[in-house]
Chain A
Amino acid sequence: MRGLDRRYWFVLPALAIYLVFMIYPLFSGVSLSFTTFSGVGEAKWTGLDNYQTIFTDSVYLKILSNTLIYSAFVVVFQNGIGLAIASMLNGLPKVRSLFRTALLVPSMVSLVIAGYVWQYLYSPLGGGLNEALAALGLKSVQQIWLGDPSIALIAVAAVHVWMYIGYSAAIFLAGYAGISSELQDAARMDGATRWKRFRFIEFPLLAPALTVNITLATINSLKSFEFPYIMTGGGPDGATMTLGLKVIKLLFNEYKFGLAAALSVVLIVMVASIGLVQNAYLRRREDRI
């Protein structure tokens, strides 16, 4: 054992706690997912039944598609708007940090609180959004935001976007700070238009920030359950039921621990594989640039 550095002992306390309380539950979750366990009594081994339910039952297929739609909406809009804001702020050094701070405020009120506030804002009975639309003479645009199955999911995802636009913008701004100002000046001198400078200089050089932003937004939106939990409970008619929320419901309300474990496994595999593929693609893109 001469070869091993003695400093490795320092990793041990963290590693022990991590293995016992994170990795062990994870693996025992996998074995639980092959059973119908309800919290008490013996777990009955049922093989792949839980997984078959998840991938054939239309209720669960709806949940999978809801989760993907929610996530795609969040990733695109949170980062698109965040990038637009950051690229404007980059040219405005005087007001940059003021706006960055202001836009970060929503991400500091917690998910639960944001959920409650928006639930009321969306309410058809005196809720702020419909009232504001009426005051602006836009009564025709009024909706039962959370009660209409065709828009409820997007209404919930929009709150997620609202909360984290500033977060996304802050990360893009940090990316901008890493672009040399000589390069930007040179392009301006050469008469490159605003759009061309963005397209051919700034955007490629923002690659690391883009990678971080897309990865973070994907992971966070895939595993998020707080907004539908608070705002809709998954309804109307399952329109806002996401994977994360269904796991919680199976655990707390339906006591189907085996199925919950299986759904958690699906969620982890989904997050991990989407995350890995994205990251591999984005990193390769960074290297090309």
Chain B
Amino acid sequence: MSSEGLQTQSSGEISVSKRTKTKNKQRWVDRFQVLFLSVLAILILLPIFYMISMSFRTRREIMMDPLGLPSSLLIENYQKVAEAMNYGTSIFNTIFITASVIVLVSILSSLAAYPLARIRHKLSTWLYILLTLGLVIPPFAGLTPLYLFMRDLGLLNSYLGLIIAYTTLNLPLGVFFYTSFMKSVPIELEEAARLDGASYLKTYWYVVLPLLRPITGTLGLFITLTVWNDIVYPLLFVTDDSKYTIMVAVVRFLGTYSIDPTQLFPAAVLASAPLLILFMLLQKQVVSGITAGAVK
């Protein structure tokens, strides 16, 4: 409508109609791109859909028609699998360990980040580099000695051992997140608190810590992903299956080269559902966490 109106206005007739043409062309390009991206997104999401769909099907259904949809929302598969892999216990273990690690990492690394972000000094730079070096060290780098060490400390087969291991693993991430976040927060509030006679510890507790709340959510989410996804530490440190975390429970239940779909898919859905739900609820934090280091 508006473009037609414009065209009748004599003076810039040619250039305006040309612009309308390119605009129209652009609209078609956009539409084509949306279509292309939709197809791509569907293809990428198809395995997830396949996983959920297969989890409700009986062995017979799968044999007859490998790509078919479930004829009913059969939960018998789920009941059997949940029982066999001790779902309740392993979920509880995972949540308990995750929560402990989040609390420990956020306290330890925010304490460390306070001086590292605020002191401009060679020592603080070196400490920062040392502490964040762990970001690039593969977790199983010191695995053998860590195992022997845990054994000597009597921490095998205990929650405490896993909590310590995951806390250490996530400390570099915490220090990195908090330090870079604190650098973006104005220092004036802290200085005001200091002028009012607050000790450094009080300043940290009452001024710094509350400021860090937004980034703590993102950090917590990343810690959750690490703990839920890891299988190395529990496989190595834990032999008592009542202390397994969820992914190890899945690996122990399915084994490797598992091909029984009525076990594989319900177990896959059960194990990934909590994370997928968390993602749906906290999309914004996930995206901001992923992109934290991307823009200088």
Q: CB distance A17 to B138 under 8 Å?
A: no
Q: List 30 A-B contacts (CB under 8 A).
A: A10-B111, A10-B200, A11-B127, A13-B108, A17-B108, A21-B165, A22-B137, A25-B145, A26-B137, A26-B145, A88-B36, A88-B37, A92-B37, A101-B283, A112-B250, A116-B258, A116-B267, A117-B264, A121-B47, A128-B67, A131-B67, A162-B47, A175-B295, A177-B295, A209-B294, A222-B138, A248-B140, A261-B145, A267-B141, A272-B136
How far apart are B223's CB and chain A's nearest CB, in angstroms?
14
Q: In the complex, what residues of A have CB within 8 A of residue B87's CB?
A: none
Q: In the complex, what residues of B have CB within 8 A of residue A74's CB?
A: none
Interface size classification for chain B? 35 or more
In the assembled complex, the Cα of A270 lies from the Cα of B275 at a distance in Å of: 32
* A 94-105 binary contact with B (CB < 8 Å = 1; else 0): 010001111111
Whether B272 is near chain A, meaning CB under 8 Å from some CB there, is yes
Q: CB distance B144 to A112 under 8 Å?
A: no
In the assembled complex, the Cα of A5 lies from the Cα of B115 at a distance in Å of: 9
How far apart are A130's CB and chain B's nearest CB, in angstroms?
9
* B 248-263 binary contact with A (CB < 8 Å = 1; else 0): 0011001011110100
Q: In the complex, what residues of B have CB within 8 A of residue A174's CB?
A: 290-291, 294-295
* A 194-209 binary contact with B (CB < 8 Å = 1; else 0): 0000000000000011
Smallest CB-CB separation from A250: which chain B residue? B144
Interface size classification for chain A? 35 or more
Smallest CB-CB separation from A110: which chain B residue? B229
Whether B164 is near chain A, meaning CB under 8 Å from some CB there, is yes
Q: CB distance A208 to B137 under 8 Å?
A: no
Whether B207 is near chain A, meaning CB under 8 Å from some CB there, is no
Q: In the complex, what residues of B have CB within 8 A of residue A149's CB?
A: none
In the assembled complex, the Cα of A18 lies from the Cα of B165 at a distance in Å of: 10
Q: CB distance A126 to B66 under 8 Å?
A: yes
In the assembled complex, the Cα of A102 lies from the Cα of B149 at a distance in Å of: 43
Q: CB distance A104 to B287 under 8 Å?
A: yes
A-binding residues in B (CB < 8 A)? 30, 33-34, 36-37, 40-41, 44-45, 47-48, 50-51, 54, 62-63, 66-67, 108-109, 111-112, 114-116, 118-119, 121, 123-124, 127, 130-131, 134, 136-147, 149, 164-165, 167-169, 171-172, 175, 200, 204, 225, 228-229, 231-232, 235-236, 247, 250-251, 254, 256-259, 261, 264-265, 267-268, 271-272, 275-276, 278-279, 283, 286-287, 290-291, 293-296
Q: CB distance B145 to A226 under 8 Å?
A: no
In the complex, identify which listed stretch (A51-59, A137-145, A163-171) lies at the interface while the others stay far away: A163-171
Contact partner, B47, options A37, A118, A208, Cβ 8 Å: A118
Known: A11-B115, A109-B48, A170-B291. A126 touches B142 (CB 8 A): no
Contact partner, B44, options A166, A247, A260, Cβ 8 Å: A166
Q: CB distance A208 to B272 under 8 Å?
A: no
Q: CB distance B116 to A268 under 8 Å?
A: no
Whether A29 is near chain B, meaning CB under 8 Å from some CB there, is yes
Known: A13-B108, A104-B286, A110-B228. A21 touches B146 (CB 8 A): yes
Q: In the complex, what residues of B have CB within 8 A of residue A271's CB?
A: 136-138
Smallest CB-CB separation from A109: which chain B residue? B272
Q: In the complex, what residues of B have CB within 8 A of residue A128's CB?
A: 47, 50, 66-67
Q: In the complex, what residues of A have CB within 8 A of residue B45's CB?
A: 102, 105-106
Q: CB distance A110 to B271 under 8 Å?
A: yes
Q: CB distance B256 to A229 under 8 Å?
A: yes
In the assembled complex, the Cα of A22 lies from the Cα of B161 at a distance in Å of: 13
Known: A126-B62, A131-B67, A162-B47. A18 touches B168 (CB 8 A): yes
Q: Which of A91, A212, A222, A275 has the most CB of B within 10 A?
A: A212
In the assembled complex, the Cα of A230 lies from the Cα of B255 at a distance in Å of: 8
Q: In the complex, what residues of A have CB within 8 A of residue B140's CB?
A: 223, 244, 247-248, 264
Known: A110-B228, A233-B257. A252 touches B235 (CB 8 A): yes
Q: CB distance A5 to B121 under 8 Å?
A: yes
